[in-house]
Amino acid sequence: MWRATELMAADRRRTVRYATNGVVHIQSTIGGPVKDCRLTDISDGGVRLYAEGLQVPDDFHIWLTPDNVQRRRCRVVWRLGHEVGAEFTDQAQQDFGKQAALAQFGTRRGAV
Protein backbone atom coordinates (compact mmCIF):
# COMPACT_ATOMS: atom_id res chain seq x y z
CA MET A 1 0.00 0.00 0.00
CA TRP A 2 2.69 2.52 0.93
CA ARG A 3 4.51 1.68 -2.29
CA ALA A 4 1.54 2.78 -4.43
CA THR A 5 1.36 6.09 -2.59
CA GLU A 6 5.08 6.61 -3.06
CA LEU A 7 4.83 5.92 -6.80
CA MET A 8 1.84 8.24 -7.19
CA ALA A 9 3.77 11.10 -5.56
CA ALA A 10 6.74 10.50 -7.87
CA ASP A 11 4.50 10.45 -10.95
CA ARG A 12 3.17 13.95 -10.23
CA ARG A 13 6.62 15.46 -10.63
CA ARG A 14 6.97 16.51 -14.24
CA THR A 15 10.38 18.15 -13.99
CA VAL A 16 13.56 17.71 -11.94
CA ARG A 17 13.69 19.77 -8.76
CA TYR A 18 16.85 21.50 -7.55
CA ALA A 19 17.36 22.08 -3.83
CA THR A 20 18.18 25.68 -2.98
CA ASN A 21 18.48 27.83 0.10
CA GLY A 22 18.36 31.44 -0.91
CA VAL A 23 16.33 34.57 -0.50
CA VAL A 24 14.13 35.73 -3.38
CA HIS A 25 11.64 38.57 -3.67
CA ILE A 26 7.94 38.15 -4.27
CA GLN A 27 5.51 40.84 -5.40
CA SER A 28 1.75 40.61 -5.85
CA THR A 29 1.68 43.24 -8.61
CA ILE A 30 4.36 45.09 -10.54
CA GLY A 31 5.02 48.26 -8.63
CA GLY A 32 3.60 46.80 -5.41
CA PRO A 33 5.63 46.12 -2.26
CA VAL A 34 8.42 43.57 -2.55
CA LYS A 35 8.77 40.97 0.21
CA ASP A 36 11.64 38.61 0.98
CA CYS A 37 10.97 34.90 0.97
CA ARG A 38 13.13 31.75 1.20
CA LEU A 39 13.32 29.59 -1.94
CA THR A 40 13.79 25.93 -0.97
CA ASP A 41 13.59 24.34 -4.41
CA ILE A 42 13.09 25.21 -8.05
CA SER A 43 12.28 23.34 -11.25
CA ASP A 44 11.39 24.24 -14.82
CA GLY A 45 7.76 24.25 -13.74
CA GLY A 46 7.77 26.10 -10.43
CA VAL A 47 9.10 26.78 -6.96
CA ARG A 48 8.70 25.80 -3.34
CA LEU A 49 8.93 28.65 -0.86
CA TYR A 50 9.27 28.81 2.91
CA ALA A 51 7.26 31.84 3.98
CA GLU A 52 7.06 32.04 7.76
CA GLY A 53 5.31 35.22 8.82
CA LEU A 54 4.48 36.16 5.24
CA GLN A 55 1.16 35.94 3.42
CA VAL A 56 1.94 34.73 -0.11
CA PRO A 57 -0.79 35.85 -2.54
CA ASP A 58 -2.44 33.30 -4.84
CA ASP A 59 -0.86 34.97 -7.90
CA PHE A 60 2.48 36.75 -7.69
CA HIS A 61 5.76 37.57 -9.40
CA ILE A 62 9.00 36.12 -8.11
CA TRP A 63 12.31 37.91 -8.60
CA LEU A 64 15.14 35.38 -8.66
CA THR A 65 18.13 37.70 -8.85
CA PRO A 66 19.32 40.25 -6.28
CA ASP A 67 19.19 43.00 -8.90
CA ASN A 68 15.51 42.14 -9.65
CA VAL A 69 16.21 41.45 -13.32
CA GLN A 70 14.95 37.87 -13.67
CA ARG A 71 11.20 37.69 -12.98
CA ARG A 72 8.63 34.90 -13.36
CA ARG A 73 4.86 34.87 -12.85
CA CYS A 74 3.56 32.27 -10.40
CA ARG A 75 0.31 30.80 -9.10
CA VAL A 76 0.07 28.95 -5.78
CA VAL A 77 -0.94 25.30 -6.21
CA TRP A 78 -0.56 24.12 -2.61
CA ARG A 79 0.03 25.39 0.91
CA LEU A 80 1.25 23.37 3.88
CA GLY A 81 2.09 25.25 7.05
CA HIS A 82 4.75 27.81 6.19
CA GLU A 83 5.53 26.16 2.84
CA VAL A 84 4.02 27.17 -0.49
CA GLY A 85 4.26 25.42 -3.83
CA ALA A 86 3.73 27.55 -6.92
CA GLU A 87 3.81 26.89 -10.64
CA PHE A 88 5.16 29.27 -13.25
CA THR A 89 2.32 30.70 -15.34
CA ASP A 90 4.37 32.56 -17.91
CA GLN A 91 6.09 31.02 -20.93
CA ALA A 92 7.88 27.75 -20.15
CA GLN A 93 11.65 27.82 -20.40
CA GLN A 94 13.51 24.54 -20.86
CA ASP A 95 16.21 23.93 -18.21
CA PHE A 96 15.16 27.11 -16.39
CA GLY A 97 15.21 25.43 -12.97
CA LYS A 98 18.70 24.03 -13.46
CA GLN A 99 20.12 27.28 -14.81
CA ALA A 100 18.57 29.40 -12.05
CA ALA A 101 19.60 27.01 -9.29
CA LEU A 102 23.19 26.76 -10.45
CA ALA A 103 23.66 30.43 -11.32
CA GLN A 104 21.98 31.96 -8.31
CA PHE A 105 22.28 29.40 -5.57
CA GLY A 106 25.09 26.99 -6.54
CA THR A 107 22.82 24.09 -5.72
CA ARG A 108 22.59 20.42 -6.49
CA ARG A 109 20.09 18.29 -8.33
CA GLY A 110 17.75 16.31 -6.19
CA ALA A 111 14.24 15.06 -5.74
CA VAL A 112 13.04 17.12 -2.82
CATH number of 53's domain: 2.40.10.220
Reported confidence tier of residue 111, pLDDT bands at 50, 70, 90: very low
- DSSP letter, residue 99: H
CB 40 within 8 A of CB 112: yes
- Gap between the Cα atoms of 110 and 101, Å rounded: 11
Q: Whole-model pTM? A: 0.76
Within-domain flag for 94: yes
Within-domain flag for 9: no
Within-domain flag for 36: yes
- Gap between the Cα atoms of 102 and 82, Å rounded: 25
pLDDT of residue 2: 39
More confident residue, 47 or 107: 47
